[in-house]
Amino acid sequence: MAEKLKITKLKTGKDRISSLPEQAINKILGSLSIRDAISMSFLSKGWRYKWRSMSDLIFHSDSFSRSERGPPSSFTRIYLSKVHRILFLHRGDIQMFKFHSSGSEVINSEVDLWLVYLVVASVQQLCEEDGTSLSTSDEFWNDQRNFSFSSFDNLKEFDITDVHGSKSELRFIKYILGKAPLLEVSKIKRLEDNSIW
């Protein structure tokens, strides 16, 4: 029997994991960190783009290896660039987008582009974790085309912590809340007093 299995494997060129249904493969990838899921693309040609259909995109500062050389600001730029590239290459719906950048100020123009990607990907959960300041650029608000694209029709949960209370942050929050007709849960926590709005 073992010899027969070996012969079958050689004839088909597939291993057991690659033969699993797409739903099972997505579940396996979903249990891995984003870095490990992307690393799976090196297994074989069949796995090359599997990560691109992951439904949960969870980014932490340790999602990618940190070079000991260079200042922290350099790492932040590289990290944000990788998040942007992953969103750009992703195909399919996103159930959860969770982002944390260890207290770094996120570049506003990056958030502008992320919003467009997340709307197209029908995001259902949008979460920002401790220490990240998310806001959009003034250019985003001045460009009327941004108000004509689809709303967050599928967004059911919006969770943002450590809100600093800046005008751009509050405008960002108001924009998200106004564009989410199916929103069921929204958690907005202020930085100063840990109060939830």
How many Å from the N-terminal Cα to the C-terminal Cα in the chain? 63
Q: How far apart are CA 100 and CA 85, in angstroms?
A: 16
pLDDT at 22: 81
pLDDT value for 107: 62
Contacts 24+ apart (CB under 8 A), 63-70: 63/33, 63/34, 63/35, 64/35, 65/35
Coil, helix or strand for 7?
helix
106: which residues sit within 8 A by CB, 6+ positions away? 80, 99, 132, 133, 134, 135
pLDDT in tens, the chain (197 residues): 555 545 445 455 566 777 788 888 888 888 888 888 888 888 777 788 888 988 899 887 666 665 555 565 676 777 788 888 999 999 989 999 988 766 555 666 677 788 888 888 899 998 887 656 566 666 766 665 655 556 788 999 998 877 777 787 788 888 888 888 999 998 888 766 555 55
Backbone angles phi, psi at 97, to 5 degrees: -120, 110
**What is the rounded CA–CA span in Å between residue 23 and residue 163?**
36
- Rounded to two decimals, the pTM is 0.75
Query: Can you spell out the DSSP letters for 100-112?
Result: --TTPBPPHHHHH
Side-chain-side CA neighbours of 89 within 13 Å: the count stands at 14
Angle between helices 72-89 and 108-120 (to 10 degrees): 20
Q: What residues does each domain of the chain span?
A: 22-53, 55-197
pLDDT for the residue 13: 58
DSSP annotation of 98 reads E
